[in-house]
Amino acid sequence: MGFQSWFYNNYKYLNYPLSFYFLSKRLTRPIKGFIELSKIFLFKFHLMNYSVNERIIERPFALNHLPNVKSRILEIGCADSILPLEMASLGHSVTGLDIKKYPFTHPNFSLQRGDITKIPIQKNYYDVVTCISTLEHMGLEYALGEKPQNTDNRKDKECIKIIFDCLKDDGKLILTTPFGKSEVKPEGRVYSQEDIEELFKDFVIEEQKYYVKEGKNWIKREKNEITKEGVTLIVATKRPKIIVPSLD
């Protein structure tokens, strides 16, 4: 296991707004003081900076579109996110799905480890599926510190089909992904509007928003204003298929 893989499996959570504390109160003040002084030193000598990634818009978007009643939620790609904890803390019954372990527990949260395309997922079961900045990595495995084996691997399409099948009729998919000119990068895919419409052809897209990072700010844009890679945020609904009886 390489360093990148080890880091992603254990310590990537440091980028998220969780509050960690020491069990020993005698250690808390000196260690916290050392950490804060180190930050001041690094910033003062321009050795440290910060960046706000797309989670600043993605997580609020997902939380704002959750049902107001207790719901069954499947969170795909949960290992590096606090969204499962947030949704569980709102009273929802949350199942996290990832090939990596999840270090936190909650009474309303359960973890299912494995590849979504290789493990059984109950059909017509979930009210909501959330997939936040995950679909673009499907089949590329960059997040585990590995190089893409085959850019033609369309596990992302398999994933969308599985999501459709596991949602109840009128169930909701909340998904975010890179948006712009269609391409495959080592770290993941970028989807064009045509790609999105093809992926979601069995869904009804209820809402779609577009954001681009400009400097340190995430700015909402219209689709036709996107001239560089940004992020699209989507709410789509599974509509029951209408079977027209044969006249024969």
In three-state secondary structure terms, 173 is: strand
d(CA 203, CA 137): 21
d(CA 32, CA 28): 6
Q: How far is CA 125 from CA 51, 118, 167, 245, in A?
A: 38, 18, 6, 26
The SS3 of residue 246 is coil
DSSP reduced 3-state for 58: helix
Q: Which two tokens stand for residue 121?
A: 């997922």
Residues 6+ positions from 39 with CB-CB distance below 8 Å: 48
Q: What is the distance between the alpha carbons of residues 70 and 91, in angstroms, rounded to a whole number?
A: 6
Stronger pLDDT, 246 or 235, i.e. the higher one: 235
Q: What number of residues does the chain have?
A: 248
Residues 168-221 pLDDT 10s: 999 999 999 999 999 988 778 999 999 999 999 999 999 999 999 999 899 999
Contacts of 125 (CB under 8 A, 6+ apart): 72, 166, 168
d(CA 213, CA 230): 7
Above 60 in pLDDT, residue 1? no
pLDDT in tens, 102-138: 888 999 999 999 989 899 999 999 999 999 999 998 8
Residue tagged 């997040």 (tokens): 143
